[in-house]
Structure 1
Amino acid sequence: MRASRLVSILLLLQNRERMTAQELADTLEVSVRTVYRDMESLSTAGVPLYGEPGHEGGYRLLGGFRTRLTGLTTDEADSLFLTGLPTAAADLGMGAVVTAVQLKLMASLPAELRDRASRIAERFHLDAPAWYRESDRAPHLSAVAEAVWNNRAVRVRYLRWAEPREITRVVEPYGLVLKAGHWYLVADGTEGLRTYRISRIADLRVLDERFERTEGFDLADHWQNYLRFFDARRHQGEATLRLSPSAFHRLPHLWDSAMADAARRTATSPDADGWIRVTIPIESVEQALPELLKLGADAEILAPAGLREQMTQALDALARLYRRPV
């Protein structure tokens, strides 16, 4: 794309000081004539370019000109990674800062690139939360983010699903993750690295105590490993099903990826009725039942017997309910 190529030309000239039209054309994989047109566009946009003829000639930027972001404050520079995530920035208390940095970024661009950036913003929008679900209310998110940034330990009172329901821990906050509209804290403590859902923090106090992050810790890698472990841990059982062709093809839209992938991986050849036998991981009978009810009469539970019995009872209850006159 031309806009990207113009930026590449500026960065090449900044890094190499001088390049011929042929060198630029070879690097960017375009014709020399295209380079000439690009240089004319950059010059028209106010970039101080100078072309020197001859064997030792080439293009250079005058007066040590460099493309730079002028006037950015420390907070604005810190917020650069959030400029495409306005909702996340607002959650972290940085909405106004991100707005300011976007304006300064736009002002620093040549006219052609500024127009392109505006058109992209008008045409693309990222909405992180999943369908039909509201984002978590996370009143302690800003305080947690500050502690993460400043390597400050925190004391949290946390509400868990398991017993004991309420725990108090002092942890070292390593990073924040936004997943499907929910914020999570990755923190180290006496229990090792743990993940805490921010909305379930009942109380939080940032301590004066500072800590040193483990050298080489990579938040993205840790999160991917955590997701794999989480899926393996929560899926402790299996269920065998017969699925109609329609149900089988609808699985990616109805189930999470772990269940849908397992169904595709274990699918047998269609039987005489065209139905397919699959084996899927489940957390428990109680968790699996509502997931299987989504498929209605397009699925039959073969095993385990307890899950089949629970389905039978649920269907009997529904039948009794709908036989009653309204």
Structure 2
Amino acid sequence: MCIMRASRLLSLLLLLQTRGRLTAPELAAELEVSVRTVYRDVEALSAAGVPVYADRGPAGGYQLLDGYRTRLNGLTAEEASSLFLAGLPGPAADLGLAEVAANAELKLLAALPPEPRSHASRMRERFLLDVPGWYRSSDDVPHLSEVSEAVWDGRPLHMTYRRWGKQEVDRVIHPYGLVLKGGSWYLVAAPPDGGPRTYRVARILTLETLPGRFTRPEGFDLGGFWHSYAKEFRERMYTAEAVIKLAPGRGDLLAYTMGSDVVGAALAAAGEPDPEGWLTLTVPVESITHARWLLLRMGADVEVLGPAELRTLMSEAIAELGKLYH
């Protein structure tokens, strides 16, 4: 019980430190406790010497004395920032934070009581996050460190960028944030007179940090933008549909071939199997030609019913294979 309260007191202190003035109901909602408990915890912090005080009235609330900051065993600002990447040694190294991340981890472990320290050590020994997918390496991102500095400092960038099809373009951009997805780094940025877009950092050929600073759009939410972008990207990616018959027990293989999300939704929408156990499915595909390449990998476990163009392409490919292996 004492450990739980100590953790809650620290959370309350950090909330006040990071967000400024908060009311008792707001703190209670964040900490998932009663308002009465918040009153007791604030009194405990005050008794421990933390300069927290209350403003009365409709616009009142609790806040810390101006200038007060709690410190965690000598952590520097860079080390504290790297904590978000403590479990990602590869990305931390990409951003130039490998050493400070290691130092931060050591300082955190030293600051913990014996039991939590032992638990943290076991977690580090037993769990590892490996970001890139199988059979692919991470992107080569020589400009990532400079990009991350510009994101942090709010500085505009001038870059030469290689678009799809190897077309090179010049862009002046305001960098809003970086996203690591599937082992690849993406920059969310906007031209000075436009809305945010995404750029793959590995496709930046040349980069120059420009003088001055830009004003970040008020209320811009990197996580919210990326979630919407990823959803729209998936919707744009699937431009056609294939109607197939799937052999009994081959749903896992189809999911491995075409993606678990796509196949899972198709299986959920499918009707009853035929007397031989074959299922008729409608699955979204990027294109008819791409679908042919994917479905050929399924061999005789899939029959294409439509569209006619895809069935013809499958038939032609199978005929060519027959000539090759005749």
Q: Shorter chain as normaliser: what TM range?
A: 0.7 to 0.9
Alignment of 1:1-326 (within 5 A): 7-12=3-8, 64=49, 68-162=71-165, 165-189=167-191, 190-323=193-326
Amino acid at match of 2:307: P
- Tell me which amino acid in the other structure corresponds to 2:212: E
Distance, in Å, in 2 between the alignment partners of 1:291 and 1:6 is 57
Which whole-Å CA distance do the structure 2 matches of 1:169 and 1:146 have between them? 18
Query: TM-score, with normalisation over the residues of structure 2?
Result: 0.78
Identify unmatched segments of 5+ residues in structure 1. Answer: 17-26, 29-58
Structure 1 residues 107 and 319: CA distance shift in structure 2, 3 A: same
**d(CA) in 2 for partners of 1:62, 1:100:** 32
- 1:40 maps to what in 2? none
* 1:122 match: secondary structure: helix
Moved more, 115-124 or 250-259: 250-259
- Matched-pair contact (CA < 8 Å) for 1:68–1:108: no
Shift of 1:152: 0.8
CA 60–149 in structure 1, closer or farther in 2 if over 3 Å, else same: closer
Cα deviation digits, residues 113-153 of structure 1 (max 9, x gap): 21111111111111111122211111111111111111111
User: 1:212 is paired with a residue of what secondary structure?
Assistant: coil
Residues paired across the two proteins, number: 280
Instruction: Say if 1:193 and 1:215 are closer, same or farther in 2 by CA, change over 3 A.
Output: same
Give the aligned residue type for 1:184.
Y
User: CA offset at residue 61 of structure 1?
Assistant: 11
Larger Rg: 1
Quote the Cα distance in structure 2 between the aligned partners of 1:161 and 1:77. 37
Q: C-alpha distance in 1, partners of 2:222/2:45?
A: 41
AA matched with 1:269: E
CA gap 1:321/1:76 in 2 versus in 1, 3 angstroms: same
Aligned residues: percent identity? 47
Cα gap change, 1:191/1:256 in structure 2, threshold over 3 Å: closer, same or farther?
farther
Runs (5+) with no aligned partner, structure 2: 14-30, 33-43, 51-68
More divergent stretch after superposition (182-191 vs 260-269):
260-269
Instruction: In structure 2, give the amino acid aligned to 1:98.
Output: A
Distance 2:45 2:287 in 1: 67
Q: TM-score, normalised by structure 1?
A: 0.78
Q: Which amino acid is 1:93 matched to?
A: G
CA offset digits 1:243-273 (Å, max 9, x no partner): 1122224333332244213422431211132
Q: CA RMSD in A?
A: 2.7
